[in-house]
Amino acid sequence: PAAAESRHASPAAPRRLREKLRTAARMAGPPARTAPSSRQQVQGSESRAQPASGAPPARDTRAPFRFDYERFRRSLRHPVRGRRPGEDPETRARRMKIKEMMKFAWDNYKQYALGKNELRPLTKNGHIGNMFGGLRGATVIDALDTLYIMELEEEFQEAKQWVEKSFDLNVNGEASLFEVNIRYIGGLLATYYLTGEEVFKNKALELGKKLLPAFNTPTGIPRGVINLGRQGTCPQQHFLYGMSWSWGWASAGSSILAEFGTLHLEFLHLSELSGNPVFAEKASNPQPGLQVLNRVEKPQGLYPNFLSPVTGSWVQHHVSIGGLGDSFYEYLIKSWLMSDKKDSEAKKMYDDALEAIEKHLVKKSAGGLTYIAEWRGGILDHKMGHLACFSGGMIALGAEHAPEERRQRHRELAAEITSTCHESYTRSDTKLGPEAFRFDAGSEAMATRLSERYYILRPEVVESYMYLWRLTHDPKYRHWGWEVVQALEKHCRVEAGFSGIRDVYTTTPTHDNMQQSFFLAETLKYLYLLFCEDDVLSLEDWVFNTEAHPLPINHTDFKA
């Protein structure tokens, strides 16, 4: 793949998609009435009740909402960048190396591609792509919080200045609801919470309104593609009209589990910062979204990847913890954590889903490697995608809060899956992992198809290393993370940035000429945090969205 990749799936797929279902269900009003056509004009949000004919409109005398940022910062239990107590020189030196890699990636993007979405490091130019509906600067937005956490102050100011002066939201194009949410909304929200700079909050809220038309479906479950252009406004609420439709490659006009299920964290924070409940309502409503998920029969307790936003029925029975399904499950446990462990509904959905996954999908190879298979209408496909390797970290995170009888079992499962994903790296010539690896025909934890041998700077394996390190402090996770750093330096670093490679099984790989924005948002951030103390972006204060943008746990209400 020489083009920018959707962070999480195939073909243009999302990486973690789940919360939106329960979001789409939890707080909103009755479903909007829309015809079940594949493309349709829809309104940005339900209209408010109209006054009786001839009556003057009611005046809104409420004081404008203001989020109390200083109170929020005081509520954090740890300094954002930690206290940096004494540490061993090797750990610090390794962290500084990762910081240098981030500076190198940013400096080359700034020099050759600033304002484009990604850097093409071999040809030293920029790439725009078609996932973001005309939005630009994906690498800027994805990099902001990483630059801040790494204390790359000058580079952070460069990125901030671009947002202030050049980040244009008045665009007209077809965007992935999922990708815009996790990269742009997530990155802007995180940077506001880290810095208190109003420009990031204002851009997030303005962009968030442009995504609302996607939810106007008979079920409240959003379609995957949204046109960000302004076709008109709703006079009552001044929200945008837009066009939304399903991906052409998605079966029968379906919505994708990992896409509609990966909106909840960000949309709750849009409501938190704006005082406008419409975002939380769209993403968390039990009428209709959650009801749809609770009502529809789940085969063996599993959630298939494709659901009709018109009928609320499954379109086909393909279940995956990797691309198309992954972040649905991630956002269940993280919704519960972000609610300060109050969202019991999300916790129960996570627990039930993991129980079904354990029962039907978790397998052990002849060589003793634990993996999570995919499920196609009752038939197992014995493969794992690189995207599925996030699950070790997710299960470890959930295990810390599991009942005693399951806690140790889930800790062991998380460690075993993470070890399997490590094996997919160590069994390649480059010590980087393939896009997918299989457990059949005598092969274990290796790609057996040419189309699955590439590595595009993905973060999921080091993401799990970071969580396992934080939760166990077993030094092997830092050792494994450093192996990845060395492999990236040897095989992916080129003269003007970092590039993915087309075949991890050759020591002279061909580069794909793409520095993905998620390399700066996720891969380098997780590696950096792996060599930080636990109080840097402490898990007591933050949850990471599926693009590794930190969003705060809701310890209290911060309305001023």
Q: Rounded to an integer, what distance in angstroms lies between the CA atom of residue 496 and that of residue 414?
A: 37
Q: What pLDDT sits at residue 12?
A: 38
pLDDT in tens, 149-162: 999 999 999 999 99
Catalytic entry in 118, 142, 155, 326:
326
Q: Is 435 a catalytic residue?
A: yes
Check whether the bond before 434 is cis (ω within 30° of 0): no
Structure tokens, 159? 């990125």
Report phi then psi at 444, rounded to 5.
-130, 130
pLDDT of residue 241: 47
Place of tokens 């001839």: 54
Q: Where are the domains of the chain?
A: 77-552
Domain 77-552 bears CATH identifier 1.50.10.10: yes
How many angstroms separate the CA atoms of 515 and 499, rounded? 5
**Given this model, what pLDDT does residue 48 score?**
34
Check residues 25 and 513 and name the one with the higher pLDDT.
513
Q: Of 145, 374, 444, 460, which one is the catalytic site residue?
A: 460
The answer to whether the beta carbons of residues 164 and 41 sit under 8 Å apart is no
Q: Is 556 annotated as a binding residue?
A: no
Confidence of residue 8 (pLDDT cuts 50, 70, 90): very low
Q: How confident is the model at residue 391 (pLDDT cuts 50, 70, 90)?
A: very high
Catalytic: which of 118, 145, 435, 541?
A: 435
The pLDDT tens digits of the residues spanning 449-461 come to: 999 999 999 999 9
pLDDT interval class at 34 (50, 70, 90): very low
Residue 286: pLDDT over 90: no
Q: Using a cut of 0.85, tell me whether the model's pTM lies above it.
A: yes
Give the sign of the dihedral formed by CA 198, CA 204, CA 208, CA 210: positive
User: Active-site residue 107, yes or no?
Assistant: no
Please say whether the beta carbons of 494 and 421 come within 8 A: no
Query: In the prediction, which pLDDT does 31 show?
Result: 34
Q: Find out whether the peptide bond into 64 is cis, omega within 30 degrees of 0.
A: no
Q: Is the pLDDT confidence value at 287 over 50? A: no
460 labelled catalytic: yes
Structure-token pair, residue 293: 């998920």
In the set 19, 46, 118, 179, the catalytic residue is 179
Kind and range of the H or E element at 397? helix 391-399
How many Cβ atoms are within 10 Å of 32's Cβ, its own excluded?
18
SS (H, E, C) 270-316: HHHHHCCCHHHHHHHCHHHHHHHHHHCCCHHHCCCCEECCCCCCEEE
Residue 157 is encoded by which pair of tokens?
A: 């100011």
Statement: residue 510 has pLDDT above 90:
yes
- On the question of pLDDT at 39 being above 50, the answer is no
pLDDT tens column, 346-372: 999 999 999 999 999 999 999 999 999
User: In this structure, are residues 463 and 522 in contact, taking their beta carbons and an 8 Å threshold?
Assistant: yes
Q: Are 181 and 19 in contact (CB under 8 A)?
A: no
The 10 Å Cβ neighbour count of residue 523 is: 28
Q: Which residues pair with 371 in a beta bridge?
A: 363
Mean pLDDT of the chain: 87
